Structure 1
Amino acid sequence: MSTSNPMKATSSPRHPRADDRYPSRFGRDILITPRLDPVVWGEPGRGPLSESQLNDYIDHGYLHFDDLISPEEVQTYLDELQRLRADEAIKDADEAVIEPGSRELRSLFAVHRSSPVLKRLAHHPKLVAIARQLLGSEVYIHQSRVNYKGGFRGKEFYWHSDFETWHVEDGIPAMRMVSCSIALTANTPYNGPLMIMPGSHHRYVSCVGATPENHYKISLQQQDIGVPDDESLTQLVEEYGITAPTGLAGSVTFFECNVMHGSNSNITPLPRSNVFMVFNSIDNTPVEPFCGLPPRPDFIAEREDFTPVGQS
């Protein structure tokens, strides 16, 4: 695949490092290999999830909860999202991602830092307790962001594994992370909901294409490097299928860092706004990126503050 934006050639090594258990973007062929890490690191009885729920997460790579966030809380967070979206100055910040071809805000990163309201959401006891149990340790925020998918022209997010990027470009060693998607508007089958290939987290897809310098500046708008090819995606869909965990405002989906996921564009009048919190184990902090390039900015991938949530 190619991109219309010229980028400086990568200086990444021709071969993966000796400590790289999940090499990607080095070879000429996409490889699908077995996962090397546990899916659940915690145990039943050490958190709110039952043994059955933990087994479902192991099997499918996600858990969905309706009404986990109260209507009053949802309204508070939604008001904050609308405030951020209306602030023209925010659109010029490094943390902002603008829709290609418009001035519409697509994503805003590090919202747990910039917004006291969304910082409270990052420390929400229900979310933190689930993340701790899944990862078997205290957790910190590796990344937070707001994703706006406006009506009629909200763009898609192509199929990808978050871990592939977080490993290659951020230096996260192991699959010991979990994303949490909090719906602040209804996620319907029609307005570009999150789609997941359940069970695909048991496979690691090693992608083709050396990582360009400052890749994040392009990939946050349209990712072309670090995504599987059509043949690999077809193979995964044939093996695992596709599901879309939809729900009303206040529903929450936890999904495993390596599960293949994406979303369609939104051509309906119904906007979709979600907040994402990425929890990482305090025992899985980043090392030097495995692509051999400088790390991405801290607002995308935390490298300094590993304070466990609930203790700041």
Structure 2
Amino acid sequence: MTVPSIDRGTADGGAANRRSVDAYPTRHLSGVLHVERRDPVVWADASEGPMAPDELRDYRRDGFVTVDPLLEAGEVALLRAELARLCDDPAVRADERTIIEPDSEAVRSIFEIHRISPLLRELVADPRLVGRARQILGSDVYIHQSRANLKPGFDGSGFYWHSDFETWHAEDGMPAMRAVSISIALTENHVHNGALMIMPGSHHTFVACPGETPHGHYRTSLRRQEIGTPDPDSLTELADRHGIAVLTGPAGSATVFDSNCMHGSAENITPYPRSNLFIVYNSVHNALTDPYAAPEPRPDFIAARGR
């Protein structure tokens, strides 16, 4: 089974070649702006697919749902060995798709993993993943982004609070909140080793972020993001309103979450590594246009525009 890709300007009747109205302005603003979500959370008829009605209900309400297990132990072992192989490969480490920790030589992320590894190419096309994405988004899908996030013991830095959609909208030109992420644990995610944190229900509010986007911003933001992060007052308001869920789970478990969830993770100062695979599926009806708040689009290995 394959996940179809799109050609720029064809999947949405040419939408990628037109400048759509900006429903979620960000970065070019002088003050704080919160916009209530203008897109569905679950699109179209979601009756067919691997997600049960109660899972879809929770996803609509909270913006995420956990799947435990998604992968079997044998599959996890193969994927973990493959990730170790990639991290040890000098060619992969030297590739621009590999991001190194800002304060060490440890691998932080490897992007476009489904194009680097045949095993991971099979995974992103697996019906257990694609079926959930299609069910939520109400359409066929393609891979907007794939990556491995690693937090080695004692040496894994955190990811500050952010909405992925704010960056994908501002820097990639994603028009609508019609994308879904699936984070798959390859190691146990403890409360103390940098597990994913999400503010349940935060996906209903878009928080504009301050700061102009400089040229080539991705070169620094992938190591340590500063522009594209919400102001402290907005984060406090969202946390007070929604609380914070810490998503722990064994290897093989997964979190399916909305593109606009406010989420982040702390650094890992424990001896126990945390490695997750991260796959983003975008609807073929949500083709990327020009960036809404950046001087140029990010490279294809970060934000695929179809090939």
Any idea what SS the aligned residue of 1:244 has?
strand
CA contact (8 A) 2:104 2:155 kept: no
The answer for the alignment partner of 1:201 in structure 2 is: 203
One-letter amino acid of the structure 2 residue matched with residue 108 of structure 1: I
The answer for the alignment partner of 1:153 in structure 2 is: 155
Give 1:88 shift. 2.5
2:236 pairs, out of 231, 234, 248, with 234
Deviations 1:111-154 (A, max 9, x none): 00111011111011111111110000011100000001000121
Alpha carbons of 1:18 and 1:116: their partners in 2 closer, same or farther (altered >3 Å)?
closer
- RMSD of Structure 2 on Structure 1 (CA): 1.1
Give 1:292 shift. 4.7
Residues of 1 paired with 2:209 and 2:191: CA distance?
29
Any idea what SS the aligned residue of 2:251 has?
coil
Alpha carbons of 1:64 and 1:112: their partners in 2 closer, same or farther (altered >3 Å)?
same
CA contact (8 A) 2:203 2:262 kept: yes
Deviations 1:42-96 (A, max 9, x none): 4342112122211110100001011110111111111100001111332221101
CA contact (8 A) 2:215 2:294 kept: no
One-letter amino acid of the structure 1 residue matched with residue 296 of structure 2: P
CA contact (8 A) 1:44 1:50 kept: no
The answer for the alignment partner of 2:216 in structure 1 is: 214
Mapping for residues 212-291 of structure 1, pairs under 5 Å: 212-291=214-293
One-letter amino acid of the structure 1 residue matched with residue 45 of structure 2: E
Give 1:18 shift. 6.8
5+ unaligned residues in a row in structure 2: which ranges? 1-18
The answer for the alignment partner of 2:181 in structure 1 is: 179
The answer for the alignment partner of 1:14 in structure 2 is: none
Any idea what SS the aligned residue of 2:247 has?
coil
One-letter amino acid of the structure 1 residue matched with residue 91 of structure 2: A
Identity of aligned residues (%): 53
The answer for the alignment partner of 1:110 in structure 2 is: 112
CA contact (8 A) 2:111 2:301 kept: yes
One-letter amino acid of the structure 2 residue matched with residue 240 of structure 1: H
Deviations 1:207-245 (A, max 9, x none): 111111100001001111010011110000000000012
One-letter amino acid of the structure 2 residue matched with residue 286 of structure 1: L
Residues of 1 paired with 2:116 and 2:294: CA distance?
30
The aligned length equals 289
One-letter amino acid of the structure 2 residue matched with residue 84 of structure 1: L
TM-score (ref. length: structure 1): 0.91
TM-score (ref. length: structure 2): 0.92
Deviations 1:275-309 (A, max 9, x none): 0000000110101111252110000000123xxxx
Residues of 1 paired with 2:149 and 2:128: CA distance?
21
1:39 is the counterpart of 2:28:
no
The answer for the alignment partner of 1:163 in structure 2 is: 165
The answer for the alignment partner of 2:144 in structure 1 is: 142
CA contact (8 A) 1:108 1:147 kept: yes
CA contact (8 A) 1:167 1:290 kept: yes
Any idea what SS the aligned residue of 2:230 has?
coil
Give 1:161 shift. 0.1
1:30 pairs, out of 15, 29, 32, with 32
1:297 pairs, out of 292, 296, 299, with 299
CA contact (8 A) 2:214 2:294 kept: no
